Structure 1
């Protein structure tokens, strides 16, 4: 898929050259995560915002197989997918790679900030 009059929403993936991805409309979770990352003054681990986007809605004493806990866990996992999509679309970038003890620290790209405006 090429960017241009036929597909003005396509975004190039850095380092890939000929391969392009259609940006589409970011999901609500992707937009919320991108907004929180872009508001950070320093590079940040996107996962630090997961509880902000989807706070626990179950009692802390709930069993592991409690439906509320399971639904919340699924939402937390889906946020990792949102983070990966934002990265693949060049809307966020790794500034400090993970080191085995700490996660990747990321920031919004100019393209990511433009999506929010």
Structure 2
């Protein structure tokens, strides 16, 4: 259900998703790979290849299907601990006329925690 509420559209501003876990250490670094958003009504995908907790600027998504150079959003890891991290996606001004992009459940991303 959390994934269904994690989307970006022209009006959504910033959305967050808390990923919960139970580690026996506090990570120094969290890395998220291949985070993917899909257009809700079409088969256009946007992939963020790698997001790291030490990058305070975030990562701009790139179409890997489509004709655009960039996607009007950025993602970053806002906070993390030994029990969770918060992934944030923000609309930054260009969605190429598309209406809504949603997290691809089940195959969206892989995350790693480094001690």
TM-score normalized by structure 2?
0.27
Larger fraction in strand: 2
Q: TM-score, normalised by structure 1?
A: 0.27
The structure richer in helix per residue is 1
